[in-house]
Amino acid sequence: MATSKTAAAKVKAKTARKPAAKKKADQGEGEVKEVATRAKGNTLVVVESPAKAKTIKKYLGAGYTVKASVGHVMDLPKSKIGVDVENGFQPVYEVIESKKKVVADLKSAAKNADRILLATDPDREGEAIAWHVFEQLKKQKIPTQRILFNEITKKAIQEAIGKPLELNRALYDAQQARRVLDRLVGYQISPILWKKVRRGLSAGRVQSVAVRLVVEREEEIGKFVPVEYWSIEADLKAALPPQFRSKLIKLDGEKAELPNGEIARPLVDELKNAPFTVAEVIRKERRRNAPPPFITSKLQQDAANRLGFTAKKTMTLAQRLYEGVELGEEGQTALITYMRTDSVRLSPDAVLGARDYVATRWGKEYLPAEPVQFKTKKSAQDAHEAIRPTALEYPPERVQPFLEKDMFRLYELIWSRFIACQMVPAVFDQTTADIGAGRATFRATGQILKFPGYLAVYGQEAEQPREEAGAEKMEGEDEEKGDVSRQLPPLEAGQKLTLVQIIPEQHFTQPPPRFTEASLVKELEEKGIGRPSTYAAILSTIQDKEYVEKKEGRFFPTDLGKIVTELLLSAFPTVMDVQFTAKMEGNLDEVEDGTADWVKVLGDFYTPFKKTLEAAESQMRDVKREEKPTDLVCEKCGSPMVIKWGRMGRFLACTGYPECKNTKDFIEEDGKIKVVEDIPTDEVCLSCGKAMVNKRGRFGRFLACSDYPTCKTTKPITIKGVVCPDCGSGLAERKSRFGKNFYGCTGYPNCKFAAWDKPIPGPCPQCGKPYLLSKYSKRDGAYIACPDKECGYRREAPEPEAVVVVNGPESVVPMTPPARA
């Protein structure tokens, strides 16, 4: 991770040729070398967090003081761009207001120290914090060095202290280049959006591209035209049980294609009278290899898929596991290695420990003859190991009493993945039988787990390794097949079978799915947008800025997200280009490697970007001032109504403004504008005694005093008998920016629970969930179901609810009429 003497010399030689504007910034490196030659004595160790400080202090004896910077101590100013564009892009850093007391405390501690060790995280951000702490303490002329470790254990800390390093200029320059680049983009595009759309908006080099992915996926879904197709399956009996199901795969020796019922139904009649005979039976042993240990992105994806965690939650919990948690008498103990990594590399000691654990816990038949090694992608930095437990003396069952529920679940996931990666493959016996029936060929496939291998620890749930880097899918998994989990009876070629029933079924092709946290992280990773350490922040930002919203775990672009994406694509096509964003990440990696100059990287970007900025100022659509005519007339003054854009999105406004300030909410149905009127209620305002009306606002329908604006009393409309499962507040019916009804927590934005289907009082009789969902589909009609898909509970509902089709014939959501809210 750290720059070696040779690499440092290269960096020094390179910086000597940099513009004069950089000389001042580079002086710090020489100062570090100068002060590092002094004698050692009482030592001040500086880390980022109090939890990390507490863990490290545990491993250090007398003569060490451990202090936390509590994150960054310096940053660019919030009130201005803070970058001298005309003078080599020099950043103008200042001490963060809330960190002035922290800096004063560090300076005070440094007065009693004979040397300073900067032990911040081993990545770009950690290096930047180390440099900024050094900048604040360097006037005291105390020898200062950098120490790096991948895990907070006694051995790792002592080894790092025994081999202190110089601050890494190249790594700091890479962070600085990213920070300046993001500031140049954000602070210069955002004001244009304020002017053209609304104040408070932001644009980002990575976040805006992430929003673009969500918007374009929604466009694909909107343009998708379902295509009908049919399948035919046959339930068959052999001489011995069990009965089994087979699927039609060929007709007249060619792949079976049944586009409609007119073709499928006559074929069903034909097959009912055909003899079914086993044509061929193939028995094979299949192996499924274990996935590699976690890297950051895969941890986020697996935690989302298996545990339902957001990327932000996963990284917050992982940070705490890395920095240390209280384990009773053992005190503050770090449980995992550094959680920001894109390498699947493992230390020899870790591999040996895992192999010993597997042999002891499961036996040598679960242990490969040689240690399993995984190949890291070429684009990976490979600076740190993969994410793994720090010590195998802390199995999940031992630490469970000391960890909160979700932290334990994440630790167990990391532990299981690490152990599993050093185990033998799972072995399956798979039987595939082709069955002739006249001119048709059916196929039945059965599979039995012969030896669990790594699944003994990672679980049968692990059906996703085919998508993991380094994990191999089983041979033949792409073949046309039936249910591989089903057991088949003994079958031999030429054997006669008994037809039980023929099952024809109509299907429709489905649009591409909306992104989940896991799939969006995967998309960003595959396209090279951002870095694993930034994914959680990206996903949080695009939601906080209201460019996307998440419903039932999937991302939907808002009207705001769509219009901002449209404007940015038109005005800044390069910044919004996925390939350009990925290339820029590569350039920043080269800066980190010391093979590219950060000032040149920024210069190459900024020269064309500046021209684009100037054009956007005058040419970007002025959405804020746009008025779209309608056929509607203001009922108060008779003037025409127009569609305008405001803080709450689109709305109807009277053209008689400012004399007439009448506005209306509306929805568009089949291209027609429909005014959303206030609905009278029998409820009385508790403040003034006037009647309350049912209104539609930014977050859906709510009760408001009819005497507004004289009385501004409001009240949420909650669903009786059901509370939010996340926070215990009420649940209210709302309408999304797309005009679709959903049900959300009245505690929004502090609680973001939401569901498309109407929650009804529970509990679920199978799993005990406190509420159920009233659902509807075209195929099944109305029914009641458990929100936990793994539970699978469902029952018929007495009456279907009104529905609105959103994506094809089988994709629907309940829509309760406003009068029933």
**Could you list the active site residues?**
338
- The label of the residue with tokens 């109090």 reads 50
The pair of structure tokens assigned to 742 is 């959903």
Q: Angle formed by the axes of helices 311-323 and 405-420, to 10°?
A: 80
The pair of structure tokens assigned to 348 is 């020899």
Burial class of 54 by CB neighbour count within 10 A (0 to 12, 13 to 18, 19+): middle
**Exposure string (b/e) for 729-754, b if CB count within 10 Å is 16 or more?**
bbbbbbbbbbebbbbbbbbbeebbbb
Q: Report whether 521 contacts 206 (CB < 8 A).
A: no
How far apart CA 591 and CA 170 sit, in angstroms, is: 6
What are the helix and strand counts (H, E) for the chain? 20, 38
- The label of the residue with tokens 């025409």 reads 640
Regarding beta strands 115-118 and 144-146, do their DSSP bridges make them parallel or antiparallel, or are they unpaired? parallel
Q: Is 345 helix (H, G, I), strand (E, B) or coil?
A: coil
Quote the distance between the C-alpha of residue 1 and its chain's center: 27
How far apart CA 77 and CA 676 sit, in angstroms, is: 44
The pair of structure tokens assigned to 549 is 């919203």
CA separation, residue 388 to residues 146, 420, 459, 774, 792 (Å): 24, 11, 18, 42, 33
Q: Report whether 229 contacts 509 (CB < 8 A).
A: yes
Classify the C-alpha dihedral 488-493-499-502 as positive or negative.
positive
The pair of structure tokens assigned to 333 is 């103990």
Within 8 A by CB and 6+ apart from 517, the residues are 300, 304, 310, 311, 539, 550, 553
Instruction: Give the Cβ contact number of residue 450 at 10 Å.
Output: 14
Q: Is 752 helix (H, G, I), strand (E, B) or coil?
A: coil
How far apart CA 130 and CA 606 sit, in angstroms, is: 28
Q: Report whether 309 contacts 523 (CB < 8 A).
A: no
Regarding beta strands 90-91 and 812-814, do their DSSP bridges make them parallel or antiparallel, or are they unpaired? unpaired
Q: Report whether 333 contacts 322 (CB < 8 A).
A: no
How far apart CA 401 and CA 329 sit, in angstroms, is: 13
**Which residues, in sequence order, are bridge partners of residue 236?**
244, 499
**Which residues, in sequence order, are bridge partners of residue 428?**
286, 449
Residue ranges of E strands in 289-418? 325-326, 332-333
In this structure, what are the phi and psi dihedrals at residue 423, rounded to the nearest 5 degrees? -115, 165
Q: Is 774 helix (H, G, I), strand (E, B) or coil?
A: strand
Classify the C-alpha dihedral 250-254-255-257 as positive or negative.
negative
Find out whether the peptide bond into 504 is cis, omega within 30 degrees of 0: no
How far apart CA 192 and CA 210 sit, in angstroms, is: 20
**Exposure string (b/e) for 797-811, b if CB count within 10 Å is 16 or more?**
beeebebeeeebeee
Q: Report whether 510 contacts 228 (CB < 8 A).
A: no
How far apart CA 477 and CA 466 sit, in angstroms, is: 10
Q: Is 674 helix (H, G, I), strand (E, B) or coil?
A: strand
The pair of structure tokens assigned to 698 is 């930014």
